[in-house]
Amino acid sequence: QVQLQESGPGLVRPSDTLSLTCAVSDYSITTGDWWGWIRQPPGEGLEWIGYIDYTATTHYSPSLKSRITMSVDTPKNQFSLRLTSVTAVDTAVYYCARKGPGLTYFDLWGRGTLVTVSS
């Protein structure tokens, strides 16, 4: 059964860089799908962050692109997110998810990980 699992620090200091990794199991990330990140501040709605494919081609949200870097590690079958210069508004549950090639929806999601930005 295909699974996605987010991992990373649960607490990040203001102005630091948030780094998360999503490990994909029982499915190769080189199949042609896109691998994305979506976040959800506590009690609020969903926000798309961006997605990447196994060739490291990326598409980022216009509102976050100046602070985002995504990368992929094919030998480890995982992909990662870096968000720089974080503030309290970046506090959210961060989900990784799969998007099919040429498609515009996410059909498989990780459980999510809460990242709190606080000193």
Positions that interact with other proteins (CB under 8 A): 38, 45-48, 59, 61-62, 95, 103-107, 109-112
Q: Which is nearer to other proteins, 59 or 67 (CB)?
A: 59
Measure the CA–CA gap between 35 and 52, rounded to whole angstroms.
5
Q: Which is nearer to other proteins, 17 or 25 (CB)?
A: 25
Nearest approach in angstroms of CB 12 to other proteins is 21
Nearest approach in angstroms of CB 43 to other proteins is 10
What's 36-98 look like in SS3?
A: EEEEECCCCCCEEEEEECCCCCEEECCCCCCCEEEEEECCCCEEEEEECCCCHHHCEEEEEEE
Nearest approach in angstroms of CB 50 to other proteins is 9
Nearest approach in angstroms of CB 95 to other proteins is 6
Q: Which is nearer to other proteins, 35 or 106 (CB)?
A: 106
Locate 43 and state its tokens.
């009690």
- 29 sits in which H/E element: none
